[in-house]
Amino acid sequence: MNKLDKESIVGISALLVHAANIDEIYSEHEKNLIKDFIKSYLKDDDTDQILKKAEEIENNSNQLLNYTNIIKKNSIEVKKDIIEHLWKVIISDNSIDQYESNLMRRICGLIYFPDKECAEIKMKLINK
């Protein structure tokens, strides 16, 4: 599995924050899911600090999808992991709206991740 550097984690976390915010409800549960993502890559870092940075980026960035370039360069395992974390955040409120689905389609397109596999990850998480 590729190691993502701290800057990449912050950027990808901003993408997760964006996914959480699309339905305009950014819950504590979603924050915790994003922190889980951060912890899975950066064991010793201050997750609250990284989340705060990610939230700032998300607030100020209308080119958020630039962060997909970071993801695109990584292995299929890393992409799969990130897609899984994005879906966890999106389905954490038990509903998926068209904007969330659209975001996932766009991200998958930008990182060259197969739609079929994206759909399988989503179904696996929904059925958990």
pLDDT digits (tens, 9 = 90+) for 13-60: 999 999 999 888 899 999 999 999 999 999 877 999 999 999 999 988
Q: DSSP states of 66-105 as a string?
A: GGHHHHHTS-HHHHHHHHHHHHHHHHTTS---HHHHHHHH
Residue 28 belongs to a domain: yes
- CATH number at 106 reads 1.10.3680.10
State how many domains the chain has.
1
* Domain annotation covers residue 1: no
pTM for the complete prediction? 0.91
**What residues make up the domain containing 116?**
6-126
